A and B are shown apart, each in its own frame.
Chain A
Amino acid sequence: LAKTTQPISMDSYEGQEVNITCSHNNIATNDYITWYQQFPSQGPRFIIQGYKTKVTNEVASLFIPADRKSSTLSLPRVSLSDTAVYYCLVGEWDDKIIFGKGTRLHILP
């Protein structure tokens, strides 16, 4: 399983775009990159998954450079309700998923 490194915490302001970068230098050919979001007192919620280039959905965008050694989760125009912990996970289709400590994103008014 590829090891991931992401910032422990980040602060941003309402209305701004937030980018959270995850490093995964030893990502394998068959690995996918997945991000989860966890609000206080709730279970994690799957938000986006990608393999290469860019993926966009109604919640976020995921940018993956050609070498795939990192990825960036982009949250457009954040609001106070985006305050949460964001987890980056990397692994193959059949891998056991392992959560790290994630990035605590705090949105300020």
Chain B
Amino acid sequence: EAGVAQSPRYKIIEKRQSVAFWCNPISGHATLYWYQQILGQGPKLLIQFQNNGVVDDSQLPKDRFSAERLKGVDSTLKIQPAKLEDSAVYLCASSLGRTASPYEQYFGPGTRLTVT
């Protein structure tokens, strides 16, 4: 079974630039999550999709971050404009959805973003 795919793996940008991350979840997984993980901390949930609808985006900085999940499969997370404090690893995860435990999530390898 293929895992969660993310690209790019690494990205370096200057502050005030924009950046986008892509995620392809495990086939058949209805729920998709984006997390931000700052060095030395646990992942923090940014947004959760159920199919192509947003379930929770309470911790997404909406003035600069946006995310979409078209057709309920792939998803993109965008930052515009980036700030220095956005330097982190951005993780995508998926799970089967409401018929299974949301705690059993499958994570991708992440995208390491460095903002200079």
Contact = CB atoms under 8 A, between A and B. Distances in A.
B105 interface: yes
A102 B103 contact: no
A100 B109 CA distance: 19
A99 B109 contact: no
B14 interface: no
B53 interface: no
Interface in B24-45: 40-45
B107 interface: yes
Interface in B42-85: 42-45, 48, 56
B101 A43 contact: no
Contacts of A97: 45, 102-103, 105
A96 B42 contact: no
A41 B43 CA distance: 13
Interface string B1-34: 0001000000000000000000000000000000
Nearest to B3: A43
B101 A93 contact: yes
Interface of A: 32, 34, 41-46, 49, 87, 89, 91, 93-102
Top 5 closest pairs, chain A to chain B, by CB: A43-B107, A99-B42, A34-B103, A43-B91, A99-B43
